[in-house]
Amino acid sequence: MMKDQFLTNEMGNSDVIYDDADVRLSEIDIDMVETDLEGGRVIKISEKDLIKEIKEEDNENDVDEFDYLDKMIDELPDNFPKALSKIRSEIAPTIATMDTSLVEYYVDKLKKKTGALKKPIMDEIKLAQQNMLDIESETEIAGVEEIKIDPEIQQLSEEIAQDPLLFKNKINIVNQLGVINERKPIGLYLVTLDSRCLPMGSTGSEALALKNSGPYGAGKSHPMFACLKIYPKTAYHLISSGSAKSLYNIEGGLKHKALILTEALQLQGDNNTDSELAYSIRSLVSEGHLVYQYTGYNADGKKVTIINKMQGPTALLTTTVRGRLESQLEDRLITVNPNVSSKQTQDILARPQIF
């Protein structure tokens, strides 16, 4: 017998069909009407019976889903590499949507069936979860309306980008911020800061590293901080000192940023042993990333190797009163010196005073 089920309200209208009966039953007073399309009979069903019927159907669907998953696992080869394709394409995405207790149950079942360890199975489930998040993220991005750009701002940005004297004008701006002369150090600071945007090269980082070396009070830091004023704070990370492993936990990371170390005391070259901080900065500058691994514990309380990564590329700016820093780091640095001539001092004293 063919039957068509639909919901009607108290007024007897039947032109709207609702798919989510559970929600509707909690919001309005309705009757369930079951129409026999062959015999023309109409039988009224109570609201209580309707809820019971819907819940029974949902339970049947859940059982069918679990039975189907159990069947897929039972049909897997008794070898993890051979079963991997099926696990990755169908089984892991299904398990990834389940509660933690069910995940543990099916991971255990997969272990017994394929002889695999827990970690590779959990890795496949996490990969499926990440793929779901990526799809959701792409959907959200696709749904975002295109940002409207002010035509005047667009025109000005294009003019700046095509300006053949752009770099010279940036140096002029830094001079206007109060830096007297020092155009060579300013230019090198700007080049190093901009190099943070370069992509990773085939053999490591293409970002530059620069140190300004000179005596106390020679004006090493003043040009550097003036240059930073024309960059957003998201373009660099400023520190005066740090522990050996502090770089691994910087919020937001150091990818396409400049690391500003205001005084390179911990990178000095007279240490008998290699400083771990110097080693970390050296690796970040040359290789474009940091990798640190240590022993920790997983959710089951078992010892595991935990890997922390800090991605670059990262440019480096630092100042020092020493002629040379740690030897291996020194080879990776461009060195510039402040102008300590008497004429520079006279020019500074002769500048207009602003009160």
Quickly list DSSP for 95-115.
Answer: HTTS-HHHHHHHHHHHHHHH-
Give dist(CA 298, CA 315) in Å, integer: 35
pLDDT at 302 over 80: yes
**Do 71 and 91 belong to one domain?**
no
| Confidence (pLDDT) at 56 | 60
The total domain count for the chain is: 3
Dihedral over Cα of 48, 49, 50, 52: its sign: positive
The answer on 137 and 205 residing in a single domain is no
Question: Do 123 and 198 sit in the same domain of this protein?
Answer: no
What is the per-residue pLDDT across 271-295, written as a single tens digit (0 to 9) for each? 545 567 777 888 888 888 888 888 8
Whether the per-residue pLDDT at 175 is higher than 90: the answer is yes
Cα–Cα distance, 330 to 332 (Å, whole number): 5
Q: Could you report the per-residue pLDDT of 36-95, keeping only the tens digit for each? A: 444 444 445 555 665 566 556 555 554 456 788 888 888 898 888 888 888 888 888 888
Answer yes or no: do 113 and 30 share one domain. no
Confidence (pLDDT) at 141 = 57
Give a yes or no: residue 355 inside a domain.
no
Q: Quick one: pLDDT at residue 146?
A: 63
Examine residue 264 and state whether it is found in any structural domain, yes or no.
yes
pTM: 0.56
State which residues form the domain around 312: 153-350
Query: What is the Cα Rg of the chain in Å?
Result: 33
196 and 231 part of one domain: yes
- Closest to 195 (Cα-Cα) out of 129, 118, 256: 256
Whether residue 242 lies inside any domain: the answer is: yes
Among 257, 322, 251, 247, which residue's Cα sits nearest to residue 280? 247
120 with 71, same domain? Answer: no
